[in-house]
């Protein structure tokens, strides 16, 4: 079911978690499986686009034909996206990127010192969506996600503005069968022109198709 709607167009997708190494045996990660972003990548591929998928550590299969760039840390994901974004028509940042990483990477496994607690000092990772928003041209369409547990809509709208995105897809952790790891998702989409789409629960693959088609509509409108 591949068509040629987006022939000649390039799409960039981020998906999955990032892992921030602490020492040779430990890392800081999160529960993202990569399913949501892979579904979006597949939808764009089926519309005929050339799709670059920058994918953090994920065990999910990726359909053939999609260019996969495997990364582990937020910094690696950032570097890959900075190289690809300038030559991209549409981008969707669905990865769950760690905001912080350990300040130093221990070369040897960290040992228990005594019975006291321990502290790992963290430093900020670059914000990939924000960095793309800062260099975005009028011809590019940039979509981010927002994963929230409270003040969901307010926080999502804040991210839309702060990160200079064209749309933000809000995932609430308060919704059942939505978010991390599931095959379904429930989102609210905020466009920068004020339009809000409240989509009921659906499979991540259907959501991928509908998000891709909404983005295609937007890019055609702005021509």
Would you please indicate which residues are annotated as catalytic (active-site) residues?
30
How far apart are the C-alpha atoms of 195 and 133, rounded to whole Å?
Answer: 20
**Residue of the chain from 179, 209, 212, 216 that contacts ligand PMT (CB under 6 A):** 179
Choice from 46, 73, 171, 172 touching ligand PMT (CB under 6 A): 171
Q: Is 145 in the site for ligand PMT (CB under 6 A)?
A: yes
Q: How far is the CB of 54 from ligand PMT (least distance, A)?
A: 10
CB 116 within 8 A of CB 141: no
State the number of CA atoms in the 13 A half-sphere of 105 facing the CB. 11
Beta carbon of residue 111, minimum distance to ligand PMT (angstroms, whole number): 30
If binding is defined by CB under 6 A, does position 96 make contact with ligand PMT? yes
| 71 binds ligand PMT, rule: CB under 6 A | no
Q: How far apart (Å, rounded) are the C-alpha atoms in residues 34 and 36?
A: 6
**What φ, ψ does residue 140 adopt, rounded to 5°?**
-95, 145
For the bound state, the minimum distance from the C-beta of residue 127 to ligand PMT, rounded and expressed in Å, comes to 4
Q: How far is residue 147 CA from its own chain's centroid?
A: 10
30/178 Cα distance (integer angstroms)? 15
User: What sign has the CA pseudo-torsion 157, 163, 167, 168?
Assistant: negative
Segment contacting ligand PMT (CB under 6 A): 102-110, 112-120, 124-132, 212-220? 124-132
Euclidean distance between CA atoms 88 and 50, whole angstroms = 10
Taking CB under 6 A as the criterion, the residue among 99, 109, 174, 196 binding ligand PMT is 99
Residue 128 binds ligand PMT (CB under 6 A): yes
**Which residues of the shown chain bind ligand PMT in the complex (CB under 6 A)?**
14, 16, 32-36, 74, 93-97, 99, 125, 127-129, 144-147, 159, 171, 179-181
Binding residue numbers for CTP: 99, 109, 126-129, 145, 159, 163
């Amino acid at each position: 079911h591949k068509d040629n709607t987006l022939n000649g167009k390039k799409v960039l997708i981020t998906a999955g978690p990032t892992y921030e190494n602490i020492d040779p045996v430990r890392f800081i990660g999160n529960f993202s499986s990569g399913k949501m972003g892979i579904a979006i990548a597949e939808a764009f591929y089926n519309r005929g686009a050339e799709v670059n998928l920058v994918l953090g550590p994920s065990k999910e299969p990726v359909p053939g034909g999609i260019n996969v760039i495997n990364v582990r840390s937020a910094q690696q994901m950032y570097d890959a996206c900075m190289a690809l974004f300038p030559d991209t028509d549409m981008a969707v940042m669905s990865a769950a990127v760690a905001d912080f990483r350990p300040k130093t990477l221990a070369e040897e496994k960290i040992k228990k010192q005594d019975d006291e607690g321990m502290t790992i000092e963290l430093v900020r990772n670059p914000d990939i969506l924000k960095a793309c928003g800062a260099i975005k041209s009028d011809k590019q369409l940039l979509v981010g996600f927002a994963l929230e547990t409270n003040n969901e809509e307010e926080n999502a709208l804040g991210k839309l503005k702060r990160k200079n995105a064209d749309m933000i897809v809000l995932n609430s952790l308060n919704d059942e069968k939505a978010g991390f790891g599931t095959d379904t998702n429930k989102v609210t989409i905020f466009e920068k022109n004020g339009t809000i789409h409240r989509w009921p629960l659906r499979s991540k693959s259907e959501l991928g198709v509908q998000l891709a088609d909404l983005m295609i509509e937007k890019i055609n409108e702005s021509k």
